[in-house]
Chain A
Amino acid sequence: MEIASHITLAALGQQILVGLSRTTILFIVSSGLSLILGVLRIPNVSHGSLYMIGAFATYSVATLIGGTTGFWLALVLAPLLVALLSLVVERGLFCHLYEREHLMLLLFTFSLTLVFGDLVKLVWGSDFRSLSLPPTIQGSFTLLGLPFPRYNLFLLVLGPLVAWGLWFLTNRTKIGKIARAAAVDREMVAAMGINVSWIFAAVFCIGCFLAGLGGALVAPTQNITQGMGHAIIMEGFLIVIIGGLGNIWGALLGALIFGLTDAVGILVWPQFAIVFPYLAVVVVLLFRPRGLLRSTW
C-alpha cells in the first residue's frame, strides 16, 4: 500500500496518453451498449461476452492468416463475426421477447452471457491467449521525451472517428432517424408502415459490432482471458450511466472520465487504482443522478 509522493509531469503526461487509449476502447464498447439501451431499452449484459468473443476471434484470425495483413483483416473480420452472431441470436430468439418486461430482457441477455462464456471455453479452451502486434506496427515514437506506442496513436485516431460515424449514423441517415423515432414511440413508427422489428435488429447488430470491435482493438494490448468480459461490462454500465443513458456523446464523456481517473489513479495509488473511476462515478451521480448529458429515455 504505497502512495506515490512525487509524480513527475512527464510521467503524468504519458499516463494520460495511455489513459486516452484506454478511453477509446471503453468508449467504443460503451457506445454500443448505450445505443442498444437508447433504442431497444435493454441493458445488454452479454455485451461483455461479445467483447471477449471479438478478442478471441481476432486472435484466431490474426494467427491463422499471419503477418500485418492478417492483423488488419482480423480487426475487420472479428467484429463482423460478432455482429453476425448477434444477428442470429436477435432474429432467432430475442425478437420474440420485446414485449416482455425489462427484467426478463435483462435476464435473457444474462442467459446469453452464460452460454457464450461456455461456448468460448469449448472453442478456445480455458487458457489465456496473447496476441502480439505485427512488427510493422510495433515500436513507439517519442513524446515529451517519453516513448509512446504507435498502436496507441492508432487508437487515439480511431476513437473520434467511431464517435463521428455513430453521430452521422444516428443523425444523418434514414435508418438512424427511424431508430431514434422508434425509441420514442415504437407503435407510431410501426403505424407509418415501417418494419420496426428490423430496425431493432439493425441497431442491436451495430451495438454488438461495437462490442466486437472493442474486443478486437484490445486484443493486442492485454491477455485475452475468459473473465475479460466480466470486468468491461460493469465499466460500460457505469460509463453509460454517468454519460446519460442512450446518449453517444455521454458515452464519450463518461469513457473520458473513467479512462483518465483510472490512468491517474495507477500513478497515485497503484493497488487501489480500480477505485478511482468508481469514486468519480459516485461524485458525478451525487450531483447529477441522471448522468451528465441528457438521456434519451
Chain B
Amino acid sequence: MPPLTPQRRNLVLLLVLGLGLALMPAVASRYYIYFTALILVTGLLATSLNMVLGFGGMYQFHHAVFYGLGAYAAALTLNKTALWPWLGLLAGPLAAALLSLVMGLICLRLSKLYFGMLQISLGSLVWAIVFRWYSFTGGDDGIHGITLPSAIAGITGSYYFVLAVTAVCLFLMHRVITSPFGQTFQAIRDNPERAAALGVPVRRHQLLGLVIAGFFGGVAGVLFMAVENSVFPDLLFWTLSLEVLVMCLLGGWYTFLGPMLGAAIIVSLRTVVGIYTEYWTLVLGVILMLLIFFLPQGVLGYLLSRWQGPGQPALAKDK
C-alpha cells in the first residue's frame, strides 16, 4: 500500500465525503436532503465570494447581489420565455457575470474600503429595483412556482443537480485559484504595488476575478432557485452578503474549503437554534463577536495551523 501523504489523505477524505453525499437521498429523509442541498448552495456562494475576498483581498461587501440576480434571471427566463429550460438556467450566471463586470468597472476606480462601500451601495440599488418593479419581478412577493426542467423538479432530482453542479464549480474554482492567473491574483492581494511594478495589469486581473466570482455566485443563485422553486428580494439584500462574509471568516478565508465549512456550520446552527428561539440573529451576532475576538483565522485555518504546525504561511495582515 502506498504511503499516506497529505495529498492522498485529502483525496481519500474527499472521495468518502462525495460518496456519502451521493448516496444520501437513498437513506435520508426529504428534510435532510433539502437541508444538505441548502448547505451546498450556500457553501458554493461563500466559496465564490472567497475567490475575491480571501484570494483577491478585495472587499466585496455585497456579493449576494450576484446570487440574487442569478436566481431572478434564471427564474424570469424560465417563466417568461419559451427558451429551452436548460439554456434558461444559464441566463442566471451570465446575468450575474455581466452585472459583476459593470459594477466592477465602476467600483474598481477605488480600492479597499472605498471599493467595498461603493460596491455595497450599488448592490443595494439593484436590490431596490428588484424590490420595486412589481410588474416584472413581483416586488417583495418574489416569484413562486417556477417551471423547472422535469429532471430537476423533484427534491431528489434537484439535490443531484445541486451536488453535481457544486462539485464541478468547486473543481473549476480550484483550477482558477491554482492557475497562473490565480497565482498572479494572489500576488496582487499581497502587494498590489509590487505586482504593478512587475508589469501585471492589476485592474484587469481584478476585474476578471470579480467577473468569475460573480459568475459562480450566479450559479449558486440558480441552484437555490432549483431547490426552493421560488425567488424573493431578500436573496440580494445586503444583510445576506455580510452573513456570507461571516461564513468565509468562520471557515477561514485563506483556505479554499473554509467557506464551505463556514456555510455548513452557519446553516446548521440556524436550523438548530431556530428550534429553540426566534432570536437567531442575536445568536449569530454573539458567535461573530466571539469569532473576531478568539478565532480570527477561522475554524479550518485554525485546524490547519494545528495539524501542520508552525511554518504555515502567516495569515495575511492588512495595513
Please report A residues at the B interface, Cβ cutoff 8 Å. Answer: 1, 41, 43, 45, 93, 96-97, 100-104, 106-108, 110-115, 117-119, 121-122, 230, 234, 237-238, 240-241, 245, 271-272, 274-275, 278, 281-282, 285-286, 289-290
Contacts and interface: CB of A to CB of B under 8 A. Distances in A.
B114 interface: yes
B284 A43 contact: no
B318 A107 contact: no
18 contacts: A97-B292, A100-B292, A100-B296, A101-B318, A102-B113, A103-B59, A111-B284, A117-B282, A118-B279, A230-B238, A238-B121, A241-B121, A272-B132, A282-B106, A286-B106, A289-B109, A289-B110, A290-B110
B246 interface: yes
Contacts of A43: 113, 116-117
B318 A115 contact: no
Contacts, number: 111
| B interface, over-half SS | helix
Contacts of A114: 281-282, 284-285, 288
B129 interface: yes
A232 to B, nearest CB: 11
B8 to A, nearest CB: 35
B292 A107 contact: yes
Nearest to B121: A238
Contact of A111 (B134, B135, B237, B289): B289
A101 B114 contact: no
Contact of A278 (B109, B128, B245): B128
Given A118-B282, A241-B114, A290-B114, A107 B128 contact: no
A59 B261 CA distance: 43
Contacts of A102: 59, 112-113, 318
B79 interface: no
Nearest to A43: B117
Contacts of A274: 128, 132
Interface size class of B (residues with CB under 8 A): 35 or more
Contact of A110 (B118, B237, B242): B242
Nearest to A113: B285
Interface of B: 59, 61, 106, 109-110, 112-114, 116-118, 120-122, 124-125, 128-129, 132-135, 237-239, 242, 245-246, 249, 279, 281-282, 284-286, 288-289, 292-293, 296, 317-319
B114 A107 contact: no
A281 to B, nearest CB: 7
A107 B106 contact: no
A111 B118 contact: no
Contacts of A272: 129, 132-133
B112 A237 contact: no
B316 to A, nearest CB: 9
B192 to A, nearest CB: 15
B239 A122 contact: no
